[in-house]
Structure 1
């Protein structure tokens, strides 16, 4: 149905007037919407206090003199950890911790309102590895860890201290992306760098050194000192290790043909170690075997296997 011209102009004018009126409501006295004040503040280092240290005459003279064994300057995470460690190792020694701010904590400081406590920084502790006994002990002393499950042996935490993993997002080029790694509008070179970084992180998460320890583990003192990837990244520095590996390979028998003679099992000492054994044994011999079709060092095995020399149905020298 066609809309008459006069009716169209009337309705359009009314709509435009309503839009203009809505935009002016905030400026008309008595028509402003109710506003809720959100209390907050920006936190950071106290520059005004720090500047007093370099301004002569601004700091009042000391009122007393204290003599202590150790002074720790700074009450951040490192300073607090040092204070706790000193107290554990030498509780009889006196320690003084100095902090410029009204409260300790540094970047890990927290606050508290009428409803709950909250962190001033985004500092969350992932559930620790059960092998990290030092951290678990600290959490138990702090009341975060309340005990251990009798059936599984796993730590039991105060649920009021736990939270879900934060849902991290990234706003890039006007689009929200899940996670902190950019996905949209990333140049190929940057994408390659990100992939290489993620590969390195995954390698550190899974890899172990020659001593069987993880390459990355907290505390860092428990990390392995033998990183096999260093031989690929820095071949010159790993040259000595490579030469050591080459010299440790079994040598061909032909090099020692003038030093060895064939012997028989019956000529070896026949020692019975336990009364219930079926006969003499060599408990921990080094047994070298080769593939019958493909001989050589790289088709061989060297291991320790208990060998029976005689007794029962065993026939010597066969």
Structure 2
């Protein structure tokens, strides 16, 4: 049996580790109320408003884009607005939570230090005290940058520093690493890649990359080393929720070229002295919590948008309160729609053609986030020391490893912690249906199986596991996505009459910088 296949079998991994199935471990599904969304999908048209209220601007969706739009309005002195959010808290897939009293992420868990193209995000970080100019140079608050050691990979039954497999690999593998690094550099020099993607100088070569899958392009370029392909596949799943067979070659190159390139361990490129990653025990929930804090009673959590209708004098938005079942019609002058395109196309009455077409083109990646409360530090295999990000090489089913919520703590005393494990099963057939239908115990066993390979004592130290499922976590940048978006909507925001669209979907993939910039632009356009 191959190791990749073996890692996909829950029972086999537990047997190898000498563990019993963790039947006594408590936990369950948390974070996402899929019943609300599915119930409205099926009976939305039968719900009619019983009361009417007014606001100048209504924002549909309080994820990163919606929160950014609200901030932009406030910066302009516009305070007469409300936000509607289906879940019981703001933040979308960048929310944080707690497990056994310890903060932990429920979704996105880091933010790379933004480049100058993402000046809206830079301004936010300056506002939050994370970024300041010292002696003519920008510096980021040390306590919020990832502490060392940052990353390690469980490879050949030992831990190695970094996520690129290097220990014991052949000279031919190293040669392909070097050649890929040179290719990324050459492509970035020929046509600049940037975040936000709308500010990329989209060239004919970019269009050619966008027209094909990453695996097709890699084969045509002679990149066939399994270690390199594993790492690139992992990187794509990390940002896009799907691997090389689904994402475009443009997206694969963009992952590296839009930031700090692709480098061999120990090598550095121009500007790397300023590179870094911001993170917190609760992940990007640290950011969304601060974005939501000033909103007060303007944030309506547990409220879904049923219908958005553009009228001659304004916009009518029908919403349902999931706490008491009441339906309200909000009359607003304008509406910012910070919803995924496929949802926006359902709730907007007589939707514009660009929304309908965009919704049809988008593919979405499901996502699983498991938070594991560990009573005491795990026994460790030989090799690199425990790090913030810990990944198992070759894990089947879309596993992306785990981060340690306690890694940023300045307390050196060993103790309980929360490990946050990520799984992006978007390349698995029927992954979304499996994620919805399989019981919590199934996913508990899958997670324990995966992590028992490097940590045989996991099951005996695990006290509780909470699992968050995202059926449509992020848009996948499939071939043709960027060419379509730039051709249809250009580099500015998306607007149709009194409706302003603000979501990372309009960038073709989902990261904090894209969602925040889209929301900020919509807030300025009102």
Task: Choose 1 or 2 for highest CA Rg.
Answer: 1
RCO higher in structure (CA 8 A, sep ≥6): 2
TM-score range, shorter chain: 0.3 to 0.5
TM-score normalised according to structure 2 size: 0.28
